[in-house]
Amino acid sequence: MLSHVLLDRQIYASEEHRMMRDMIREFMSNEIMDQNEQWEKDGMVSRAIWEQAGSLGLLCIDIPVDYGGSGLDFSYSALFIEELAQKGINGPGFSLHSDIVAPYLLNHGIEAQKQKYLPLMATGKLITAIGMTEPNCGSDLKAIRTTAVDKGDHYVVNGQKTFITNGYLSDMAIVAVKTHPGTEQEGVSLLIMESKWDGFEKGIPFKKIGMKAQDTCELFFDNVVVPKENLLGKEGEGFKIMMKELARERLTVAVTAIGTAAGAISDTIEYTSTRTAFKKPIAAFQNTQFKLAECATKLQLNQAFIDRCIPLVPNHELTAESASMAKYSATEMCGTVVDECLQLFGGYGYMWDYPIARMYADNRVARIYAGTNEIMKLLISRGLFKELFQQMKSDKKKSRK
């Protein structure tokens, strides 16, 4: 059980949040914990767990009731993310589905698209993914090569995406494409693509360092016919949409880091309180106490900032700079905390049967996906020197005339 020092969170203090937390913990205990080892062997979770989560209202939590969601605010989604992370559960790609794909549809889709996909997503009967990254580009989304050629009433898509969470199980993916390849204004657009369509193929799930229960694979598109009504937003505005929605995605990564660090500290407090060395608990040694004091302090400082960011999501007030700060700081903190906690487990910390070992392997990618932490620093810097960069851009334009 977490120390009261780590549980003092006003953002989750309502009776509704407490009820949600109890339901989530019961769900994890009854439906997830015993299956995790098998999921790791399979390289993916079962489809049944998606429908079980949907039946409890744990998918698309902050999507309006009219579209099948629970109609709650983002803090409830954040609570679910944290609770899963505290137990090291990352196989089910619920957050990507509910907190990334669903908002893309809600905020930028036409009514027909919302009505067609969101209710099914909320039930877990339709599993979704998002295709941005390609073998030749990661954080540089303008460099994508997947193309969508206009054929009148449809597009023909060719290309490849990689590192796709939920990729193998996905029934639908939002895919970034170039709609005017080879022209000066190539135009990045977003298409809603269904995996049942001819030419839409999935690669074998990757064998990863961590997050072994989460299916991650490549997606291949060979002359896939995509109806024009499956264009998400306007043609050529895909990059703008992605930049707007990435703030929330990066915050979810930060929230996961908060949950992971809290879980690591909690497990380590329990372990060091019962494990003995030289005839006394490891927790009785000053080094143990100081190391965990440092970890708890780092967690609390990041929690405070994350808790300030979470209420900004519903009204789209979370800035790119704040989201980048949250993602960068929380994931760096989590990496340090998990490493320190593993050290206190000694040799057992290196054993896969111990959750801290899984956390160590799973957490490393947090500093890479949703934009590397190096990119986060770049975005923060642009915010700090915004006026200077604008002036430099203006001067460059003048020099061309």
Catalytic residue numbers read 249
| Both tokens assigned to 367 | 């500093």
CA–CA separation, 202 and 64 (whole Å): 31
Backbone angles phi, psi at 100, to 5 degrees: -125, -60
* Paired residues of 261 in beta bridges: none
CA–CA separation, 130 and 235 (whole Å): 18
CA–CA separation, 373 and 379 (whole Å): 10
**Residue 271, class by beta-carbon neighbours within 10 Å (0-12 exposed, 13-18 middle, 19+ buried)?**
buried
Long-range contacts (CB closer than 8 Å, 24 or more residues apart) made by 273-278: none
**Residue 53, class by beta-carbon neighbours within 10 Å (0-12 exposed, 13-18 middle, 19+ buried)?**
buried
* Paired residues of 149 in beta bridges: 156
* Paired residues of 190 in beta bridges: 176, 232
**Which string of b and e fits 82-112 if b means at least 16 CB within 10 Å?**
bbbbbbbbbbbbbbbbbbbbbbbbbebbeee
Amino acid at 145: R
**Residue 264, class by beta-carbon neighbours within 10 Å (0-12 exposed, 13-18 middle, 19+ buried)?**
buried
